[in-house]
Amino acid sequence: MKFDTPAGPNVTDRQVVIGQPVDRVDGALKTTGTARYAYENQDVGGPPAYGVIVGAAIAKGRIESMDLTAAGASSGVLAIVTADNAGKLGVGGFYVDRALAGPDVDHYHQAVAVVVAETFEQARAAANLVQVRYAPGSGAFDLAAEAARATAPDPAKVRSPAHTEVGDFAGAFAAAPFKLDAHYRTPDQAHAMMEPHATIASWSGNQLTCWCTVQLVAWGKRDLGMILGIPPDSIRLITPYIGGGFGGKGTAASDLVMASLAARAAGRPVKVALQRTLMFNNTTHRPATMQRIRIGASADGRITAIGHESLSGNLPGGSLETATAATKLLYAGANRMTDLKIAVLDLAEGNAMRAPGEASGLMALEIAIDEMAETIGMDPVQFRIVNDTQVDPANPDRPFSTRKLIECLTTGAAQFGWSHRQAKPAQVREGRWRIGLGVAAAIRGAPITTSAARVRLDAQGHVTVETDMTDIGTGSYTILAQTAAEMLGVGVDRVTVRLGDSTFPVSSGSGGQWGAASATSGVYAACVTLRERITAALEFDAGSATFADGTVTDGARSAPLHAAAQGGELVAEEAMTYGDLAQRFAQQTFGAHFVEVAVDAATGEVRVRRMLAVCHAGRILNPKLARSQVIGSMTMGVGAALMEDMVVDTRLGFFVNHDLAGYEVPVHADIPHQDVIFLDDEDPTMSPMKAMGVGELGICGVGAAIANAVYNATGVRVRDYPVTLDKILEGLPAV
């Protein structure tokens, strides 16, 4: 089914099931511990052995020799895989990192071996006996030091041009009566998901089956085939439950590759869970950025010039952090410039992390917008409203499909009590605490992609949905069940959803904020075909028949749904594909974040006290699940603002704080009351579902709202994240 004209009225508009706050259909499995995650599967083709990965102890150089004698003789050891016996390995189509070092080492904790033994304890003990002699080499580990050698990225590595210019930015900026020229920094950040990267791999002849943690199953199958040099059709990936990913489990990572190699070497299934201390330097992360923002404006607050430049680093051939993405679309302004540069760094690979580009870019842009508003003497909410645009500012002939940024800002301001904010910083005290309010706008792309599903109806009237879509805690099982239930006129309890198996039809996968809108559209398409087959079996007219309460009705005639399948199960498989609406319309989600902080007047410690997100993201398929996604994103935004910083040892080339003791993330005690408001709307240009993703919008702008609130509380402007007390303390007003 092809979607190439805006959606009109259809079955999903009934919102009997869609749009309702349905509880997670998989909630009982998760709360009782019976949902099987990758490492917990048991029927894997035989008793599994255990693999432990040995990570490189240098950041750059070569392996001169490896003594496996003691490790090989250790109790229970079945095999040890290194580059010497693994066979020729390639790289995947998404990650550029080599899964196995040898003889060259590309970054710290790159896998150099996997030790396989009967038990995990035996494998771990033997792994500690592997003796590796390295010849360290020189590497590049300091982004600032490499800035002068940065270059424009490979066009294939960015979604849109790395350098853009509209109008005369330089001239307009020079002529502007009010100017801002400021530099901002965001650090390297870790996904730090609860479930580690984990795989159980099992071979049967030339067929490989992996129970794994991969967000995009089709990509994982493709990339694992590319790495191992085997046909993708000989690979089956099974990943029904993923315990958090945030982009860090996008496709074939080290655990999947090393478990596959280990199982082949040992001749039996092998379980590999990447040790937490390896995850930070072995897998991908959000790369650090150095950003420069210049804004020129007139006395009435209109932006006349806006320029945004960003530098990030990566392994050779790697992608870059597209931090200028939001600036291209968020505010009006006739004279514009954006520029991206990338430096080669010998650190672990930088790649997608929740809202890649927008999250880090807005951490800078939305501070700069506040600074510009203050320079002009305008309220920061009003400054954002004045510079709203209903068309792509670089292409005025391309309107936004829907855009309610002003309504997000005004609704949030009224709900949060913004009118009580003191414009002059450091004016409000409550005992030892200085109180401040901050705001930031949010924007995140709303991509949608081809997604397929198979839907079955059996003789008992039960519906089964099958697609390789994954659930990373986002609620995929539930919204897909809601879609099928709405389309076929049954309750959610009459629908079973099966996910995360590469033998199922290829879906969008989870990532990019495209999963919900895309995967539900694939189920919609399959259900349209199944409805036609049901009405044909009942000899009803497909165009006029209605499906409700387990009954199909056509005029004066009706029949129970299950009657259509009495002659045998009815099956429909279909994919939703798309035309050029994404080119004709700027499809984006929008929001506004409001934050109240308290800063200790003597120590500079920051406490977030209140948070509000107002979101505009088309039709909300399930407000309960959507709220859960947004408050999770807001929590990650608190971490990015106040805590998270993968500290680089620029001498030895690794992230020093590579565990959850040294890399701090927010816990429940750090998070205050959070409110979320969804603006009622639908976007007919997206799909028949008229929905957009929302899971990444919630993190966009949060960091800047917190930094702006800290400034309002203290008068201290921090442009270098995270906003820690050492950066505040010196500038605090005298007690």
Q: Which residues are identified as catalytic?
A: 696
* Displacement of CA 732 from its chain's centroid (Å): 36
The candidate with the shortest Cα–Cα distance to 718, out of 177, 173, 150, 187, is 187
CA–CA distance, 268 with 285 (Å, rounded to integer) = 32
Phi-psi region of 417 (alpha: psi -120 to 50; beta: other; left: phi over 0): left
Answer for the pair 253, 100: CB distance below 8 angstroms, yes or no.
Answer: no
Amino acid in the structure at residue 246: F
CA–CA distance, 154 with 381 (Å, rounded to integer) = 37
Location of structure tokens 């594909």: 577
Exposure pattern of 643-677 as b/e (b: 16+ CB <10 Å)? bbbbebeeeebbbebbeeeebbbbeeeeeeebbbb
Answer for the pair 318, 96: CB distance below 8 angstroms, yes or no.
Answer: yes
Answer for the pair 302, 677: CB distance below 8 angstroms, yes or no.
Answer: no
DSSP labels for 674-698?
A: EEEEE-----TTT-TT-B---TTGG
Q: Does the N-terminal peptide bond of residue 103 adopt cis geometry, omega within 30 degrees of 0? A: yes
Strands 495-498 and 463-466: parallel
Exposure pattern of 440-452 as b/e (b: 16+ CB <10 Å)? bbbbbbbbbbebb
Amino acid in the structure at residue 319: S
Judging by beta carbons within 10 Å of its beta carbon (0-12, 13-18, 19+), is residue 543 exposed, middle or buried?
exposed
CA–CA distance, 501 with 481 (Å, rounded to integer) = 17
CA–CA distance, 219 with 318 (Å, rounded to integer) = 17
CA angle 725, 728, 729 (to 5 degrees): 80
CA–CA distance, 208 with 264 (Å, rounded to integer) = 9
In this structure, the number of other CB atoms found within 10 A of the CB of residue 147 comes to 13
The candidate with the shortest Cα–Cα distance to 702, out of 595, 602, 600, is 595
CA–CA distance, 567 with 565 (Å, rounded to integer) = 5
* Displacement of CA 254 from its chain's centroid (Å): 19
